[in-house]
Chain A
Amino acid sequence: MKNGMEKQVQTFIPSVDIVETKNSYIVKLDLPGTSKEHIKAQLNRNTLIVSARMQDYLATEKENEQPIKEYRREFSLANDVDLNTIEAQYELGVLTITLNKKSQSLPKEITIS
């Protein structure tokens, strides 16, 4: 920031894979070039907002002219997600979020007597 002028923010939409298993939803986001410390995952009611500041890996002398680069993506979570047990892990530039299903919404087998 220079002379109180706000830096421009350039937003990138990361690619995502979502797979649903019996007990959970697994969300994988490609976030290359950031770090655990720069990733923010926020929960706003049923909306999960993932944002991450990209490291300015091309920083040169002209760094100050570069806009801030940021990943950002929002997800509306299904009703059966247990909002209290969300886990996230960042490895090799990929953020993996595990959304466990509430136990009462798991498929149950009903025995016929």
Chain B
Amino acid sequence: MALIKRNPTQEMTRWSGGFPMFRGFESLRRDMNRLFDEFFRGDILADESFFGRDWTPAVDVVENNDAYILKAELPGISKDDVKITLENNVLTIRGEKKNEMEKKEGNFHRVERSYGMFERSFTIPGTIKVNDIDAQYKDGVLTLTLPKAEEAKPKLIDVKVK
């Protein structure tokens, strides 16, 4: 951002010693400067969601007899920009969608797609074969297959009818 940080002390020396009526202006000015400084480099910028930088990808989770299948829609993200980690039964998908349009010069008529960092975490049941988790990325959809441990699969019990 091409904003030069104001130097409040310098401003104050320039204004001090002036007419009493300017004192009110001076404090107002200081407040304005402080506001400006905070706005342009302070908390608001640090909070990236202010500019819509954070987004949440849509996720479907389905269970069948053998596995849990998790599908995350990550259109426009290359495989290398997605990181999947498993720690203490918490599965985390995180990554960044880079805005390739931003570099283009032109008029933006519509910007509906989301850009920026994303992160989603899921607590997985303890009955997953952790070493057999499979991840595939195709056509903007990440598919995670979490196979169930044998003891978690549904069992058929024959009930004898007497």
Which residues of A approach B to under 8 Å, CB–CB?
A: 15-22, 25-26, 28, 30-35, 55, 57-58, 60-61, 90, 92-94
Contacts and interface: CB of A to CB of B under 8 A. Distances in A.
A58 B106 contact: no
A28 B101 contact: yes
Contacts of B56: none
A20 B106 contact: yes
Given A30-B73, A57-B71, 6 more contacts: A22-B106, A30-B140, A34-B139, A58-B62, A90-B139, A92-B75
A83 B114 CA distance: 29
A58 B141 contact: no
A20 to B, nearest CB: 4
B71 A58 contact: yes
Contacts of A35: 139
A64 to B, nearest CB: 15
A60 B62 contact: yes
Q: Which of B75, B78, B106, B108 has the most CB of A within 10 A?
A: B75
A26 to B, nearest CB: 7
Q: Using C-beta atoms within 8 Å of the partner chain, give the interface range for chain B.
A: 20 to 34
Interface of B: 60, 62, 64, 69, 71, 73-78, 101, 104-114, 139-141, 143
8 contacts: A16-B110, A17-B111, A19-B104, A25-B109, A30-B75, A30-B140, A57-B141, A93-B76
B153 to A, nearest CB: 15
B111 A33 contact: no
B62 A17 contact: no
Contact of A30 (B107, B110, B113, B143): B113
Contact of A19 (B69, B107, B114): B107
Contacts of B76: 28, 30, 92-94
A25 B101 CA distance: 12
A15 B140 contact: no
B140 A31 contact: yes
A17 B140 contact: no
Nearest to B75: A93
Contacts of A33: 71, 73, 139-141
Contacts of A61: 64
